[in-house]
Amino acid sequence: MTAAPTPVEIERLERRRRRFAEPALYLRLGLLAAVLLTPLLPSFQVMDLVLKIALFSTLVASYDVVIGYTGIVSFGHAMFFGFGAYAVALSMGKLGAPTYGHLAAGFAAGIVVSAVVAVVIGAFSLRVKAIFSP
């Protein structure tokens, strides 16, 4: 004797049945194809724009995780994004010709500076005993 399907199982079967009929799948596949084919274009401006979009979408995704899933409103992690961006920009601009070595040096400097600042901020914030609201 088989048990009757639960409402959750019925909904899953219905979603599975119509998954190829919804346009969201094709939109995602189209966007993925556009991003993967972008390096084939000879334009530096297009590649720069796509890289900026990817970088800022990563920052937005981290906001989604922090605010959406945990319910914690945090503006502090954008500070570490800025430290990394400034470290890479300064190393690429001040160390001479932009090379992958300078990019790696800026990346490493951003990680080190962010880690030091995180330890300092963490040392102060872990001592707080109560939540204060403005």
Give mean pLDDT, residues 81-101: 82
Q: What is the pLDDT of residue 30?
A: 92
Q: Global pTM?
A: 0.48
The helix-helix angle for 77-94 and 100-125 (nearest 10°) equals 150
**14: in domain:** no
Q: Domain for residue 24, yes or no? A: no
What percentage of residues in the chain have a pLDDT greater than 90?
Answer: 5
Residue 123 lies in a domain: yes
According to DSSP, residue 20 is labeled T
Any domain includes 15: no
Burial, 90: exposed, middle or buried (Cβ in 10 Å; 0-12, 13-18, 19+)?
Answer: middle
Answer whether residue 98 is part of any domain. Answer: yes
| Residue 124 is assigned to a structural domain of this protein | yes
Mean pLDDT of the 81-88 span: 83
Domain annotation covers residue 7: no
Boundaries of domain holding 123: 75-134
Question: Is residue 1 domain-resident?
Answer: no
- As for how many domains the chain has, the answer is 1
